Amino acid sequence: MPPHPDIALPRLIAHRGLSAHAPENTLTAVRAAFDIGCHWVELDVQLLGDGTPVIWHDPTLKRCSDGHGRLSRLSLDEARGLDVGSWFGDAFRGERMATLADMLKLLASLDMGVNLELKVGRNRSGTELADAVVPRLLEALPPERIILSSFDMAALHHARSMADASRLPIGILTEGIPQKWQSRCEALDAFSVHTDWTRLTARRAREIKDTGYRLLCYTPNDPAAFAHHWRWGVDSAISDDPGCFAGIAPPPALP
């Protein structure tokens, strides 16, 4: 297996774009992250009913759009007709759901990095999602600016097995870190472990770092409460509001 790309991972990654200040997983939320100097974002991707990959978190439309029902029932034309900004604030009225293609174009034009999460809903296929996403991702961005992650191990194994994906940086997503975290990482030749910051322990953090994996935490939004995690060796915080860490986060990680 070739070595991982040399990723200059930032301390702070904007979760679903700058989701504390703009509607999550939209082009506007990504531009907003860029505008505050946050050049990596975490985004969720899943498939519409017609197979188009789109940037969206929930299985349904209700929370983040003026529509209702399941995302998996929509065609691209129907998705394009939704307003995905007004729910967050009038200033965002008229925001459209981003396809993966739209989003990759923006990320490439801004030289941004992405932690793209394969969001595999119940009764949905992780392999189908990986098939639709991985080639487009690798074509749009260099591997130094990508981490592909998922809670769905089958999706990640399928991604790893795909053509040209041998150097794709893969992150294992967990809530609490399971006993078998290391064998799961080895089986995938993973680059990183991504965990719920409230469930990480100093001991697990040390194990992960001692074994050479990068360690990312979601979704801290309180820098004071998170401070000791930096001391445990956490590489990056995936935050809804990275700006609130200004002057509190540690200096950039050493190369």
Q: Which residues contribute to the site for ligand G3P (CB under 6 A)?
A: 15, 42, 44, 57, 117, 149, 173, 194, 218, 238
Residue 44 or 241 having the CB closest to ligand G3P: 44
Cα angle, residue 155 at apex, residues 97 and 56 outer, rounded to 5°: 15
Question: Residue 1 Cβ, how far from Mg ion at the closest point, in Å?
Answer: 26
In 3-state terms, the chain is what percent helix, strand and coil (to 5)? 35, 20, 45
Question: Residue 69 Cβ, how far from ligand G3P at the closest point, in Å?
Answer: 20
Q: What is the CA radius of gyration of the chain?
A: 17
Q: What is the DSSP letter of 220?
A: -
Query: What mask of x and - would describe binding to Mg ion in positions 39 to 68, judged by CB under 5 A?
Result: -----x------------------------
Indicate the residue whose CB is closest to ligand G3P: 218
Question: Residue 5 Cβ, how far from Mg ion at the closest point, in Å?
Answer: 22
The answer to the question of residue 117 lying near Mg ion (CB under 5 A) is yes
Residue 178 or 251 having the CB closest to ligand G3P: 178
Residue 44 or 95 having the CB closest to ligand G3P: 44
Question: Residue 217 Cβ, how far from ligand G3P at the closest point, in Å?
Answer: 9
Per-residue DSSP letters for 32-75? HHHHTT--EEEEEEEE-TTS-EEE--SSBSTTTSS--SBGGG--
Angle between helices 153-161 and 181-188 (to 10 degrees): 30
- Picked from ligand G3P, Mg ion, none, the partner binding residue 218 (CB below 5 to 8 A depending on kind) is ligand G3P
Query: What mask of x and - would describe binding to Mg ion in positions 11 to 40, judged by CB under 5 A?
Result: ------------------------------
What is each CA distance from 40 to 114, 144, 236, in whole angstroms? 5, 11, 10
CB atoms within 10 A of CB 6: 8
- Picked from ligand G3P, Mg ion, none, the partner binding residue 194 (CB below 5 to 8 A depending on kind) is ligand G3P
Copy the structure tokens of residue 141: 């961005």
